[in-house]
Structure 1
Amino acid sequence: MSLFHLSSLAEIAAAEWDALLPDDQPFLRHAFLLTLEESGSVRAENGWQPDHLLWRENGRLRAALPGYRKRNSWGEYVFDHAWADACQRAGIAYYPKWLGAIPFSPVTGARLLGSAEAAAALLAALPEALGQHGLSGAHINFTTPQDNDLLQQQPDWLARLGVQYHWHNRGYRDFQDFLDSLMSRKRKQLRKEREQVTGSGFTFDWYRGDALREDQWDFVYTCYASTYAVRGQHPYLTRDFFSLLAARMPHAIRVVIASLQGQPAAMAFYLRDSTTLYGRYWGCLAEFDRLHFETCFYQGMAFAIAEGLQRFDAGAQGEHKLVRGFEPRLTHSWHYLCHEGLRAAVADFLQQERAGVRAWADEARASLPYRRGD
């Protein structure tokens, strides 16, 4: 029984990796993770050095954990910058660290792949491996309830809570059926926002991943990159990522392009599986009032209804989603810190933070726009 490290998903066959997956969520698939690497979106130079963990028994792959050695905390969406800053002031090395996550994708999903028994053995072997490789700790983000059960049985792992906002399809016949479930004032607000956009002349076209031409992918990337440019940042993903993923996983990709007078003006990039639509990236060539809400929220909700999907995860953060029917959902991450003093300090902080997060989630649920009793 042994713990193995992979410096690239190319070192393992896709069929062997994908055989461990519990569902069809696209972010976990070998093709998705390998595309991040081969497109240059994930690499040691930008702080994401692939270091995937495998657990083998008698040569047979029994468990796996996608992971990376990190020299910064960018692109994780579970924010530990304050911990890193405290370590720097105290003369404690916080980087490099090890992270079990899907890069740039704050989406809850399986992290401990394979049998529960083998995954527990992998976790038990991880602390020793951290010391051998000079890593300050391990962090596993956006875990499932099954992962949480395994992690809470391991000593010294610290639990952290966060909040996202997801929309649930309660068997709506169409978008109007959803609107009818809202309080009158909120229903009028959403209808007014949609009418404002369509009244300005915008039209919307949906495409599967293999239906877009390369010049259209150029447009998608230009819009995506612009959302970072306005903040003075470089985009995480490269242009090659989009074309490579479209070739490898076209069935999982959906893109909606908003056009004005026949000219593309904005886009939203989605991924999907059999139950859920995931809103990932958005961008526009100019600012248009309410266009973001229509392209990223209402179009996605209407698509989920039409396709019979159960849930729409439109991305991290965004309390403005509450008034549009997105409900608070607790997210989980886990943290193992080798330095005992740091571990004790973070444990105290997380205990207080968890109480605050739960209180906020309860308050947010009370402000949802649904008619009482629905």
Structure 2
Amino acid sequence: MDGTEDTDTGTFEVRVQESLSQIAAVDWDACACPEAETGRPDDPFTTYRFLKALEDSGSVGRGTGWMPRYLTVHRDNRIIAVAPMYAKGHSQGEYIFDFNWAHAYENAGGRYYPKLQIAVPFTPATGRRFLTRPGHEIDGMSALVQGAVQLASDQGVSSLHATFCTEAEAHAGEAMGLMRRKSQQFHWENGGYATFDDFLATLSSRKRKNIRKERAEAQAFGGEIRCLTGDDLQPEHWDYFWRFYQDTGSRKWGTPYLTRAFFDIVQQEMRDDVLLALAIRDGRPVAGALNFIGRQVLFGRYWGCTEHHPCLHFELCYYQAIEAVITMGLTRAEAGAQGEHKLARGYLPSHTHSLHWIADEGFARAIRQYLEAEADAVEEEIEVLTAYGPFRRGQQEEQE
């Protein structure tokens, strides 16, 4: 769909591109990460190089159920906004799940798939989804929303979704007529700690002792733990991590989402943006956790192992991430979707947001009622979980 739309701020053209190769990297990143001119991007996952790695590696595209439909908004022969959008043939790899919606829709005789999804594939990390050049935040997002809804309507698809958007985008999208959904995941917040022990000092005695015990058990696996980034990463490290990723993927999802080629491209194009924590025994990695580095946030993404050792998962995924955030002076560690076991390790529940448009008016009313009830349940769950957090009472109130 290429189309011209009018808004209160003027006329623009919305286009759909089936490959990032049709969009100049400088134009995409001017919308996705203008702050990268002076350092790291806030969000590594919406950068041109990350999304292009998914596409060039075959992790998205034909046969994956994720068909690229990138949106671009043009005004005066200049791209002012973009969005990573995909035509989806399933609901896998999204982490804000709508399986029940699909089941109900199809039980009623409808066809839920394909649908349109504005998202970063396989990445449950909050960030901007409606990417605009500075100065075009309002009109750019408006154009993207209007264009996406018009495309969904023109193509007769059941629905449009934007997952893991920012809270500001969620409120703005709701004002434009989309339905807002609340979810939650667990984040660790840096309280200005100088050391890991400073963080431990804020915990209750029992939780503090438990973490020290887990770290000691993990460190006793018979080798060393190393965190690698930049030029310290070598191609052979990805050979090992691919085995870890395949093992976890086959157990959790049946088939790993990412291809082997994706990690080769990351090594070539993004090794300064990743932190790979490896447990190495007898000169050979036996477990690893992959993180991506944002300007203020460390994003934990994948974990796997070829040997099981007590507490090694907690050490590589959570405690090494906390150490890295403190060392690098970042503000937060995000450990991905799900997992109430993260609570005892200092990761507290935090809101996540998504936006939804449903073509069928009757089904949309039912979904709206469901989302209102779900939002109340999410708020109650966050309140209860936070109360059971590991921090000492005074510290707990500060974290809240």
Q: TM-score, normalised by structure 2?
A: 0.91
Give, in whole Å, the separation in 2 of the partners of 1:325 and 1:232. Answer: 27
- State the AA in 1 paired with 2:71: L
How much has 1:372 moved relative to structure 2? Answer: 1.4
Question: Quick check: 1:300–1:312 contact (8 Å CA) kept in 2?
Answer: yes
Tell me if the contact between 2:54 and 2:60 (Cα under 8 Å) persists in the aligned partners: yes
Which residue of the partner structure matches residue 314 of structure 1?
A: 335
2:32 maps to 21
**Which amino acid in the other structure matches residue 149 of structure 2?**
P
Q: Which residue of 2 aligns with 1:302?
A: 323
- Could you say what secondary structure the match of 2:394 adopts? coil
Residues 232 and 72 from structure 1, CA distance in 2 versus in 1: closer, same or farther, beyond 3 angstroms? closer
1:353 matched to 2:371? The reply is no
For 1:78, the equivalent position in structure 2 comes to: 96
Deviation at 1:209, TM superposition (A): 4.2
Which segment is superposed worse, 122-131 or 232-241?
Answer: 122-131
Aligned counterpart for 2:199 among listed residues 178, 181, 194: 178
99, 102, 105: which one pairs with 2:117?
Answer: 99
1:121 Cα deviation after fit = 2.4
1:366 Cα shift? Answer: 0.7
Q: Report what 1:118 is aligned to.
A: 140
Q: Report Cα offsets for 1:334-361 as digits up to 9, x if no partner.
A: 1100011110111111111110001000
Residue 48 of structure 2: which of 30, 48, 61 is its match?
30
Task: Note if 1:147 corresponds to 2:165.
Answer: no
1:199 Cα offset (Å): 2.6
Q: d(CA) in 2 for partners of 1:213 and 1:128?
A: 46
Q: Can you list the C-alpha shifts for 1:65-116, whole angstroms capped at 9, x where unaligned?
A: 1110001000000110111111111111111100000000000000111122
CA deviation map 1:194-245 (0-9, x unaligned): 0112133231111114432222211111111110223471100011101102
Most deviating of 98-107 and 363-372: 363-372
Counterpart code for 1:52: Y
1:304-332 deviation line (CA, Å, top 9, x unaligned):
11111110001111101111110110100
SS in 2 for 1:163: strand
Q: 1 CA distance for matches of 2:351 and 2:113? A: 28
Deviation at 1:54, TM superposition (A): 1.0
Cα shift at 1:16: 0.6
- Which range moves more in the overlay, 76-85 or 122-131? 122-131
Of 83, 92, 96, the match for 1:65: 83
Q: Name 1:253's counterpart in structure 2.
A: 274
Q: TM-score, normalising length from structure 1?
A: 0.97
User: For residue 269 of structure 1, what is the amino acid of its counterpart?
Assistant: L
**Residue 372 of structure 1: aligned partner:** 393
For the Cα contact (< 8 Å) 1:210–1:246, is it kept in 2? no
Contact 1:55 1:119 in 2 (8 A): no
Question: Are 2:16 and 1:5 aligned?
Answer: yes
Residues 1:138 and 2:149 aligned together: no
Aligned-residue offset at 1:303: 1.1
Aligned to 1:340: 361
Question: Quick check: 2:235–2:267 contact (8 Å CA) kept in 1?
Answer: no
2:218 paired with 1:197? yes
> How far off is 1:145 after superposition?
2.5
What residue ranges of structure 1 are gaps of 5+ in the alignment? none
2:46 is equivalent to residue 45 of structure 1? no
For residues 113-160 of structure 1, give each alpha carbon's deviation from its aligned partner in whole angstroms, at most 9, with x where no partner exists. Answer: 1122122122123322212223211100011133123202112x1111
Gaps of 5+ in 2: 1-11, 36-40, 396-400
1:278, 1:241 → 2: CA distance? 17
What one-letter code is carried by the residue in structure 2 that aligns with 1:54? T
Q: Mean alpha-carbon deviation: is it higher for 177-186 or for 231-240?
A: 231-240
Aligned match of 1:362: 383
Q: Which runs of 4+ in 1 moved over 3 A?
A: none
